[in-house]
């Protein structure tokens, strides 16, 4: 099986379409969405139905929850807050109930997915150092865990002797070792923050035992222009070009 795994779309329709175009050529059997479909961008009502049509296991992100008042706005900076309030105003009750239906953690025989960390998933903690990665590993029951949230692609690796290592790269391909466990942050489709503006798309091949992470060029100028036209903070448009 080939899984297409992606996260943090953030209402960026151009980036989402470019990623799905890329996946079309990749013979994907099943998609997984790691949350934050909405927030920041101006196309929440376009992105939600696209995700629904993929019929993919989708976990809730902090922005998805904030829009439906399941997560407090006090945790967001002023730009994010403004976009969440804007999004709340444009979503239909059906779209909101879809966000409300999302689970926090997905787990099957192959993998686990969670937007932030398995350590209190509803608190949306970041896995941004070795301690927080270890805390997540301590709850992990599968050998693979896919996460998003930080918008920065990074792979944490734990071996049987409990040695923890990590690397971060704007694109990568890893051969999975059956004696190791992995937490893989699949970066962001709609708002990367590793200083590479291109959209992130991850592929897990269960037969080849590989995980690859690719970057996809998209029409960032058009996304940025629309954010400004929608009356959202111009900072949210500018940062798209910088990938930060």
Cβ-based nearer residue to Zn ion, 112 or 116: 116
Segment near Zn ion (CB under 5 A); pick from 19-27, 28-36, 139-147, 169-177: 28-36
Distance CA 101, CA 119 (A): 21
Segment near Zn ion (CB under 5 A); pick from 2-10, 41-49, 93-101, 196-204: 2-10
What is the SS3 assignment for 132?
Answer: helix
Q: Which helix (H) or strand (E) holds 65?
A: helix 62-67
State yes or no: residue 14 binds Zn ion (CB under 5 A): no
Cβ-based nearer residue to Zn ion, 31 or 206: 31
The residue written with tokens 């689970």 in the block is 103
State yes or no: residue 119 binds Zn ion (CB under 5 A): no
Cβ-based nearer residue to Zn ion, 4 or 41: 41
Q: For residue 147, what are the β-bridge partners?
A: 185
Q: Which two tokens stand for residue 39?
A: 């927030």
Residue of closest CB approach to Zn ion? 36
Question: What is the full DSSP assignment across 214-230?
Answer: EEE---HHHHHHHHHHT
Q: Of 30-49, which residues contact Zn ion (CB under 5 A)?
A: 36
Residues 244 and 235 sit within 8 Å (Cβ to Cβ): no
State yes or no: residue 8 binds Zn ion (CB under 5 A): yes
Cβ-based nearer residue to Zn ion, 17 or 64: 64
For binding to Zn ion (CB under 5 A), which residues are involved? Answer: 8, 36
């Amino acid at each position: 099986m080939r899984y297409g795994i992606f996260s943090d779309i953030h209402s960026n329709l151009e980036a989402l379409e470019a990623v799905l175009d890329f996946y079309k050529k990749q013979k994907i059997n099943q998609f997984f969405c790691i949350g934050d479909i909405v927030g920041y961008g101006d196309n929440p009502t376009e992105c939600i139905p696209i995700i629904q049509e993929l019929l993919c296991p989708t976990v809730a992100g902090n922005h998805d929850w904030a829009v439906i008042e399941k997560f407090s706005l006090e945790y967001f900076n002023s730009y994010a807050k403004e976009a969440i309030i804007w999004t709340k105003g444009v979503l239909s009750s059906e779209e909101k109930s879809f966000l409300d239906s999302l689970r926090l953690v997905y787990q099957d025989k192959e993998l686990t997915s969670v937007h932030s960390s398995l350590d209190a998933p509803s608190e949306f903690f970041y896995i941004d150092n070795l301690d927080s990665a270890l805390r997540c590993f301590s709850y992990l029951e599968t050998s693979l865990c896919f996460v998003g949230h930080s918008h920065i692609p990074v792979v944490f690796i734990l071996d049987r002797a409990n040695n923890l290592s990590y690397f971060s790269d704007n694109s990568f391909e890893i051969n999975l070792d059956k004696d190791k466990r992995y937490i893989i942050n699949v970066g962001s489709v709609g708002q990367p923050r590793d200083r590479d503006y291109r959209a992130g798309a991850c592929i897990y091949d269960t037969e080849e035992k590989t995980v690859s992470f690719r970057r996809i060029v998209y029409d960032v100028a058009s996304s940025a222009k629309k954010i400004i036209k929608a009356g959202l903070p111009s900072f949210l448009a500018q940062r798209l070009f910088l990938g930060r």
